[in-house]
Amino acid sequence: MTAVDRAMRTLEYLANPNGRTTHTALVKQLGIAPSTLTELLRQLRGLGWVDCVEDEYRLGASAFAFASQVRPSARLRAIVAPVLASLARATGETAVLTVELPGEGVVMIVDAAEGANRVRFVAQVGERIPMHHAPGGLVLLAFSERGLGDIEGHEQHTSGPFGDVDKQAFARRLRRIRKLGYAELTPHEEPGQHAISAPILDRAGSPIAAVTLVGPASRMKPNAKKLADLLVSRISELRWSED
């Protein structure tokens, strides 16, 4: 059993309905040597994944913080998946769902539906992309009325495929995106590729995620406005609630 296996089994056991247990019980249930378990729990406590109160171990703050991010994403995927599939069928292009990772200045692909075209974009679920390099990131910034300054301070944003970013031009671009209701990533920015993204908004009008259509520029660019209208229309049919 590897160290990762031991850590995962320990966390899974602590996530059971009882929620807490002793060192002796963990040794018995997990089959881990006492000394090995002691060191493992010490490391997990140091990272905030495990707490120990009155000799009983339980999940720590880091575990609950992680769960608070995963649960909404899982629910969001379930709600948006039919829209991704519908867009992929209607356009033949790949439809992608992205969410912002708070405090990291990036968006992450959490789901995708690939189109039927032989030449198509293949999305990598779990891929992280700097917000100002992704159409999904651009719409999230635009509709939350933020700017480049709000995502600076992260190493991945000091440079990129577009070179240095002109802050004033970037601010104008965000205002235009908000006015149009969608963002585009053009072949100039990503050679051979075209992408169109629109936000999913909550009841208050704040963005919670973005859906992007992406494919070869030769196919998408001539139909960009039509595809954008379809994308915005399909997203508007979503019924999202935070309840």
So what's the pLDDT on residue 155?
Answer: 40
Looking at the fold, whether 181 and 113 belong to one and the same domain comes out as yes
CB 54 within 8 A of CB 80: no
Query: At residue 89, does pLDDT exceed 50?
Result: yes
So what's the pLDDT on residue 162?
Answer: 42
Lowest mean pLDDT among 5-9, 71-75, 153-157: 153-157
| Average pLDDT for the chain | 83
Looking at the fold, whether 32 and 96 belong to one and the same domain comes out as no
Looking at the domain assignment, is residue 118 inside a domain? yes
So what's the pLDDT on residue 77?
Answer: 84
Looking at the fold, whether 106 and 225 belong to one and the same domain comes out as yes
Looking at the domain assignment, is residue 241 inside a domain? no
Mean pLDDT of 146-172: 60
- Tens digits of residue pLDDT in 9-51: 888 888 875 667 899 999 998 899 999 999 999 999 998 889 8
Looking at the fold, whether 52 and 151 belong to one and the same domain comes out as no
Looking at the fold, whether 154 and 225 belong to one and the same domain comes out as yes
239 pLDDT tier (thresholds 50, 70, 90): low
Looking at the domain assignment, is residue 43 inside a domain? yes
CB 136 within 8 A of CB 107: yes
Q: What percent of the chain has pLDDT over 70?
A: 83
Mean pLDDT of 104-121: 84
Handedness of CA 207, 213, 217, 220 (dihedral sign): negative
- Tens digits of residue pLDDT in 162-220: 446 677 888 899 999 999 999 998 755 667 889 999 999 988 888 999 999 999 988 99
Looking at the domain assignment, is residue 85 inside a domain? yes
* CATH number of the domain within which 74 lies: 3.30.450.40
CB 168 within 8 A of CB 141: no
Q: Point out the domain boundary residue: 15, 36, 59.
A: 59
So what's the pLDDT on residue 227?
Answer: 96
Looking at the fold, whether 54 and 14 belong to one and the same domain comes out as yes
Domain span at residue 18 reads 3-59
Distance of alpha carbon 139 from alpha carbon 215, whole angstroms: 18
Looking at the fold, whether 7 and 37 belong to one and the same domain comes out as yes
| pTM, full prediction | 0.67
Distance of alpha carbon 115 from alpha carbon 87, whole angstroms: 8
Looking at the fold, whether 98 and 207 belong to one and the same domain comes out as yes
Looking at the fold, whether 190 and 97 belong to one and the same domain comes out as yes
Domains identified in the chain, total number = 2
User: Amino acid letter at 88?
Assistant: A
21 forms bridges with which residues in the sheet? 57
Q: What is the DSSP letter of 148?
A: G
